[in-house]
Amino acid sequence: MEESIANAGVATSLGCSEVSREVVNDFSITFSTINGSGSATANLTIMRAIFKMGIPVSGKNIFPSNIKGLPTWFTIRLSKDGFLGYTEKSEIVVVMNPQTFARDLATVKPGGVIFYTDEYKGPIERGDVVAYPMPVKKLAKETDIPANLRDYIENVVYIGILAQMLGIDFERIYQAFETHFQGKKKAVDSNFEVVRRAAKWAEENLEKRDPYRVAPMNLTDGMILGSGNAAAALGSIFGGIQFSAWYPITPSSSIAESLNEYLPMFRKAADGKATYAVVQAEDEISAVGMTVGAGWAGLRAMTATSGPGLSLMAEYLGLAYYAEVPLVVWNVQRVGPSTGLPTRTAQGDVTFSYFISHGDTKYIILIPSTLKECFEFGWQSLDIAERFQTPVLVLSDLDLGMNYWISAPFEYPDRPMDRGKILWEEDLEKMIERCQGKWGRYLDVDGDGIPYRTVMGNRHPRSGYFARGTGHDDFGKYTELPEDWEKGMKRLALKFETARAVLPEPEIRTLQGAQIGIIAYGTTHDAVEEARYLLKKEGILTNYLRIRALPFSKEVSQFVERHQRVYVVELNFDGQMKQVLSAEMPMLAHKLRSVAKVDGMPFSAECIVRMLLSQEERP
Amino acid sequence: MIEHVVDGAKATNQIGLTRADYRGVQSTLCPGCGHMSIANQIVNACYELNLVPEQVVKFSGIGCSSKSPTYFLGRSFGFNGLHGRMPSLATGASFADTSVEILAISGDGDTASIGMGQFKHCMRRNTPMVYIVENNGVYGLTKGQYSATTEQGIQLRKYGKTKFMPVDICLEALASNATFVARSFAGDPKQVKELIKAAIKHSGVAVLDIISPCVTFHNLETSLHSYVGGKGHEVPLHDIAYVPLLDEITVDDFETGTIKEVALHDGGHIVLKKLGEDYDPFSRAQAFHILEEAHRKNWLVTGLIYVDPDEKNLHDLFNLVDTPLNRLKEEHLRPPSDMIDVANQLMQ
Ligand SMILES: Cc1ncc(C[n+]2csc(CCOP(=O)(O)OP(=O)(O)O)c2C)c(N)n1
Ligand code: SF4
Ligand SMILES: [Mg+2]
C-alpha cells in the first residue's frame, strides 16, 4: 500500500501551488479542426514536443463517426503535477474550423485564450478571453508546398504560432517531426520550415497578452508516450502471441494493426519465416472461432474487438469456457448498446463481459489503466489463459486504446512463460504412469480444478480426444448423466476460485485518517487521483482501491469492510461494477454508492468531485 | 491396396494398423442413415491411405452429420464446434500444425443455412482441409424441418411444401473459388471412398457434397436426397480412383483417351475414367455448365466436378517456420530481453 496520490507515475506535491500571474505547465489546449484535414500530425507533434521537454502530457481525441468533413477536437493537457485526466474546458482553444467558432469559444475557461483562423470574421463575444487571429491560409500559401497539401500545411502553421506564443522548444519540435516522419529528412525539414516561418510571423505580429507558458522540466525522463492499443499489441508479442484473428471495429482495430506492424520486427525466425499468423476474418464470429481453434490446438491466441463484436462472440466464448480452451479477447469498449456512440468511450461492458454466453459461464477479466499495464496484461493474459485453460477478457476502452498516454517504460516479463498443464508425448507417458494408466482430458489430477491437456499434433496414441460443447465426463466422453454434468460445473467453479488468488491484485492508495473509500478501474484512474487531490483540498480524505482483475481477490471486500462508505466510480449508466460488487459481497452492499455516468466523454476530476459531494451532503 | 496378414492375425495396412484402429464409438444414428455409410468410407479411406490416426484432426458443426466424427477415427483429435461455425474453428487450429490432415464434417443445414458465410470464406481462403457436407436435404437432429438444399415443392411430413429454390453447395463452392469440388452419393460407397482419398491428398480445400439420405425424415422417392431417388437419377461424370505414388497406371487407357489424370502434390494421382461425354474437371466453365444442366434435367451428377491442384493454400501464404507452431518454445516466441528497449523506443 502506498501513502499517496500519484498520477502517471509522477510524484505530486499535495500542497497548493503558489498562485502567480504566469501559468506554467498547467493547462489544456484544445484543437478544433475538421476530420480528415490532416490535423493529427500537427497535434501529435505539439504533444510530442511538450513530452520531449520533460513535461507530463496527455492527448485525447474527440472525434465523430465520420471519415472526412465533420468537426473533431484534440485536447492536450500538460500538468507539472502529473494530472492528465480529461478536462471539460480548456485554457487555450485553437479554432481551425470557422463553423464551430461560437461553440468552441464557449469552452474556453475564463481568462483563457483563443487562437483562431482569420477566415472567421464574426464577433468575439467574450471579454474574458484573449483572442489571436491567425492568417493560416495566407501563411500556408506563402510556402512552396504543393497546393494539394495546403489544408494539411495550415495545421503545421499553427504549430509555429503556438510554439512562438507558448515557448515550445523548436529543437523539440524538430525531434517530434523526426519521430513522426520516422527520420525522413525531407519531410522533417519542409514541415519544420513552415513552423519557422509561422513562428516568425507570430513574433512580428502578435503581442502576448495571456499568462500561459511552457517551460522545460525533467519529469518525463525515461518515460514512454503512446496509445494503449499499441502497448497491448507489444505486450502480446512479448507474451509470445502466435495467432490472432480479428474483424475491424473502432476502437479496437489498431491492436491488430499494431500486431501487423510490430510482429515482423520482433518475431521473425532466423530464416525470415514467421512464428505467428494474423488473419483478418469475415466477421467476429469467425474471428473468435479461429482464435478458439488456435487456442485449442496449442497456440497463444488473441482476438480484439469492441461491444458489437463481443456480442457476436458470445456463443463461442461459452463453448471455450465449457470445453476449457485458452484464448484472450481484448474488448476495447465504446458507448453502446448497438452502434451507440462508436467513437466515444465507456466502461459499459463489465457485466456483459463477466457473464457473457448462455448457461453458467464466468470469465477472468483483466482491466488495465495505463500503457504499462496494457503491455503487462498483454503478456500476462496469455499466461493466465493457458494456465487456467479458459477465455480471458481484457477490458480496455477507447480512451485508453486510442488516446495518448505517458507511462513508466515497459519492463521485460519478470517470469518465464506459463504454458500451463500441457502434455507432449513424453509428458503424457509420465502422466499415464503417475496415474497408473488412468488418463483423461478433464481429470482433476491435482485437485485445483485445472486438468491436463494435450493438443493436436501430439503423436502419442492416447493423446487424442474429442473436444465438445456437449456434456462430457472426465475422459471427454459424451454423457447426459446429471451427476457428470454437476461434477463438471463444480470443477469449473473450483478452477475459477483457484484463479481468484493469483490474478493481478488491486492497487490500494491511502491517506492517513481517511474514512471514505473509492473503488474505480481502468481509465477513470487519472480523474480519480485528481479528484482525491481536489477533495483533499476540501478537507475530505479518501482511500482508493483500483480493481485490476475479476474475480475479485479478498483485498476488495476487506477494503469495503474498512470504510464507512465506498464510492464506485465508473463510466457507465447502470453502475455495473457496483452491481458485481454487490452480488459478490451482499453483506457489504449497503456501503456502496455509485458515481456512474456515461455520455461519451471520459470522467473529469471535477465531475467525480461534484457527483461524490452531492451524495456526501445527503445524510 | 496391399493388406498384410500375418499368421492368421487381423489384416493390417502398411503401417501395421487394423481397420478397427480407424473406427470410433458405437453409432447412435438411425439404422440406415446415410451419414453412417460415409463414416464407414472415411474409415476405409484412411486405412487404405495408411494415415496415422493421430495425424488426422476432425472438426464438425452441429447436426446428426456433425455428431458422426465420434463414429470414426476414435484415436484422433477432434473438436465438435458450433452450429455452422466449424470452418473458423478448423482454420484457426490448422495453423498450429500444418502437417496434420483436417477432416471436417458438416450438414446441409450446418453449411448452407447458418454456416453459409463461414463456408464460403473457408473456400476462398483455400484452407487445407477436407470439407464433407452430408447433405440430406433436411434438418435431421431437430426432427425434420426443411433445409436450404431441399428441392422446391417437396412435401415434408410436418412442415408442408418447401417454397424456395434450393442452394446448390457445389455451385456455392465453385463461386467462392474452391479448388476441389465434388459431389457423391452415400449409396455409391466406392465413389465416396475414392473421392475422400483424393480430397485428403489435395493440398487446398476439398469440398465433398455427399447426398446422404435421412431415412427418418426425408427419404421420399421423389427427392434426389433419398436412396431410391438418388440411385435413379445419379449421373456419374467418370469412374474415379485415387492412385498413390507407387502404384502403376495402365498405359492402354491413356492411348484410347478414356483416362484423365490429376497429378497431386504428394506424387499420387486422381484417375478419372471416361463414362459418357468427355468431361474436363480443370474447367470452371464446364463445372458451372454441368451443374446448371444437372439442375435442369434433375440429375444427381456425381464425381470430381472441378479441381485446381496447384493453387497456393492458406498456409502457403503465411510463410510459416517449418516446426509446427504449437511446438515452438519460449525462446522462439518471446523476444530476447534487449528487445524491450526497441519496444520502448516505439512509444515516443
Ligand atoms: C445456434 C444454433 N441454432 C440452432 C441449433 C439447433 N440445431 C441443431 S442441429 C440443427 C440442424 C442440423 O441440420 P443439418 O446440418 O442438415 O444436419 P443433419 O442433422 O441433417 O445431419 C439445428 C437447427 C443449434 N444447435 N445451434
Ligand atoms: S434423423 Fe436422419 S439424419 Fe439423423 S440420424 Fe436419423 S436418419 Fe440420420
Ligand atoms: Mg441435414
CATH number at residue A116: 3.40.920.10
Same domain, A274 and A291: yes
Nearest to B240 by CA among B196, B288, B210, B202: B196
A50-77: b (≥16 Cβ within 10 Å) or e: bbbbbbbbbbbbbbeeeeeeebbbbbbb
What is the average per-residue pLDDT within B275-282?
Answer: 90
What span, in angstroms and rounded, lies between the C-alpha atoms of B79 and B115? 16
Mean pLDDT of chain A: 94
Answer whether residue A121 is part of any domain: yes
CATH number at residue A538: 3.40.50.920
pLDDT band at A13 (very low <50, low <70, confident <90, very high): very low
Answer whether residue A532 is part of any domain: yes
What is the average per-residue pLDDT within B8-33?
Answer: 93
> What strands lie across the sheet with B259-263, from one edge to the other?
B238-243, B269-274, B259-263
Same domain, A250 and A366: yes
Q: A157, A191, A213: which is the final residue of a domain?
A: A213
Same domain, A516 and A598: yes
Same domain, A12 and A108: yes
Query: Could you tell me if B106 lies within 8 Å of chain A, comparing CB atoms?
Result: no
Q: A190, A213, A236: which is the final residue of a domain?
A: A213
What pLDDT score does A18 carry?
A: 39
Check pLDDT > 70 for residue B3: no
* Residue of B215, B218, B227 with the most ligand 2 atoms within 8 Å of its CB, for mutation: B215
Look at B178 and B155; give whichever has higher pLDDT.
Answer: B178
What pLDDT score does B4 carry?
A: 60
Check pLDDT > 70 for residue A187: yes
Same domain, A468 and A585: no
CATH number at residue A245: 3.40.50.970
Answer whether residue A413 is part of any domain: no
3-state SS assignment for residue A617: helix
Q: Are A232 and A401 in contact (CB under 8 A)?
A: yes
What is the number of structural domains in chain A? Answer: 4
Nearest to B83 by CA among B56, B57, B65, B101: B65
What span, in angstroms and rounded, lies between the C-alpha atoms of A301 and A288? 10
What is the average per-residue pLDDT within B84-96?
Answer: 98
What pLDDT score does B342 carry?
A: 97
Share of chain B above pLDDT 90, in %: 86
C-alpha neighbours within 13 Å on the C-beta side of residue A341? 16
What pLDDT score does A15 carry?
A: 38
Give tens-digit pLDDT for A599-618.
Answer: 999 999 999 999 999 999 76
Check pLDDT > 60 for residue B85: yes
Answer whether residue A85 is part of any domain: yes
From B294's Cα to the closest Cα of chain A, the distance in A is 32
What span, in angstroms and rounded, lies between the C-alpha atoms of B7 and A219? 84
Look at A569 and A145; give whichever has higher pLDDT.
Answer: A569
* Residue of B83, B108, B138, B216 with the most ligand 1 atoms within 8 Å of its CB, for mutation: B83
**Highest mean pLDDT pick, A13-27, A66-80, A166-180:** A166-180
Nearest to B65 by CA among B240, B262, B210: B210
What pLDDT score does A11 carry?
A: 44
Give tens-digit pLDDT for B300-316.
Answer: 999 999 999 999 999 99
A269-305: b (≥16 Cβ within 10 Å) or e: eeeeebbbbbbebbbbbbbbbbbbbbbbbbbbbbbbb
Domain extent at residue A531: 507-616
What span, in angstroms and rounded, lies between the C-alpha atoms of B206 and B126? 8
Check pLDDT > 80 for residue A357: yes
Query: A29 - beta bridge partners?
Result: A76, A92
Same domain, A383 and A431: no
From A462's Cα to the closest Cα of chain B, the distance in A is 7
What pLDDT score does B8 carry?
A: 56
Judging contacts by C-beta atoms under 8 Å, the chain A residues touching residue B348 are 48, 51, 179, 224-226
Cβ neighbour number for residue A146 with a 10 Å cutoff: 8
Q: Which domains does chain B have, with CATH numbers?
A: 19-321 (3.40.50.970)
What is the average per-residue pLDDT within A368-393?
Answer: 98
Give tens-digit pLDDT for A132-167.
Answer: 999 999 999 888 778 788 888 999 999 999 999 999
Q: Across the interface, do B81 and A289 touch by the CB < 8 Å criterion?
A: yes
Q: List the beta strands (DSSP E) in A128-204.
A: 130-134
Answer whether residue A412 is part of any domain: no
Please give all residues whose beta carbon lies within 6 A of any atom in ligand 2, as ranges: B 29-30, 33, 35, 64, 136, 140-141, 214-217
What span, in angstroms and rounded, lies between the C-alpha atoms of A554 and A502? 11
Q: Across the interface, do A412 and B90 touch by the CB < 8 Å criterion?
A: no
A444-477: b (≥16 Cβ within 10 Å) or e: bbeeebbbbbbbbbbebebbbbbbbbeebbbebb
What is the average per-residue pLDDT within A94-100?
Answer: 94
Answer whether residue A375 is part of any domain: yes
Answer whether residue A161 is part of any domain: yes
pLDDT band at A19 (very low <50, low <70, confident <90, very high): very low
Give tens-digit pLDDT for A244-300.
Answer: 999 999 999 999 999 999 999 999 888 999 999 999 999 999 999 999 999 999 999
Check pLDDT > 90 for residue A235: yes
* Nearest CA owner, ligand 2 atom 5: B29
Same domain, A275 and A378: yes
What is the average per-residue pLDDT within A113-140?
Answer: 95
Check pLDDT > 70 for residue A469: yes
pLDDT band at A564 (very low <50, low <70, confident <90, very high): very high
Check pLDDT > 90 for residue B346: yes
Give tens-digit pLDDT for B212-268.
Answer: 999 999 998 999 999 999 999 999 999 999 999 866 656 566 656 688 889 998 889
* DSSP string over A471-535: -B-TTS-B---HHHHHHHHHHHHHHHHHHHTTSPPPEEEE-TT--EEEEEEGGGHHHHHHHHHHH
Same domain, A278 and A401: yes
Answer whether residue A417 is part of any domain: no
Q: Across the interface, do A467 and B346 touch by the CB < 8 Å criterion?
A: no
What pLDDT score does A16 carry?
A: 38
> CB contacts < 8 Å between A and B, how many?
222
Judging contacts by C-beta atoms under 8 Å, the chain B residues touching residue A293 are 79, 81, 88-94
Give tens-digit pLDDT for B173-193.
Answer: 999 999 999 999 999 999 999
Cβ neighbour number for residue A13 with a 10 Å cutoff: 10
Same domain, A179 and A260: no
Give tens-digit pLDDT for A398-425.
Answer: 999 999 999 999 999 999 999 999 999 9
Count of residues in chain A: 619
Same domain, A473 and A587: no
Same domain, A481 and A545: no
Map grid coordinates 530481453 to a residue.
Answer: B337
Rg (CA), chain B: 21
3-state secondary structure string across A561-614: HHCCEEEEEECCCCCHHHHHHHHHCHHHHHHEEEEECCCCCCCEHHHHHHHHHH
**Region of poorest pLDDT, from A410-424, A463-477, B82-96, B149-163:** B149-163
Q: A165, A187, A213: which is the final residue of a domain?
A: A213
Same domain, A385 and A263: yes
What span, in angstroms and rounded, lies between the C-alpha atoms of B200 and B218? 29
3-state secondary structure string across chain B: CCCECCCCCCCECCCCCCHHHHECCCCCCCCCCHHHHHHHHHHHHHHHCCCCHHHEEEEECCCHHHHHHHHECCCCEEEECCCCCHHHHHHHHHCCCCCCEEEEEEEHHHHHCCCHHHHHHHHHCCCCEEEEEEECCEECCCCCEECCCCCCCCEECCCEECCCCCCCHHHHHHHCCCCEEEEEECCCHHHHHHHHHHHHHCCCEEEEEEECCECCCECCCCCCCCHHHHHHHEEECEEEEEECCCCCCCHHHHHHCCEEEEECCCCCEEEEEECCCCCCCCCHHHHHHHHHHHHHHCCEEEEEEEECCCCCCCHHHHCECCCCHHHCCHHHHCCCCCHHHHHHHCCC
pLDDT band at A14 (very low <50, low <70, confident <90, very high): very low
Give tens-digit pLDDT for A189-218.
Answer: 999 999 999 999 999 999 999 999 999 999
Please give all residues whose beta carbon lies within 6 A of any atom in ligand 1, as ranges: B 62-65, 83, 107-110, 134, 136, 138-142, 147
What span, in angstroms and rounded, lies between the C-alpha atoms of A98 and A95? 7
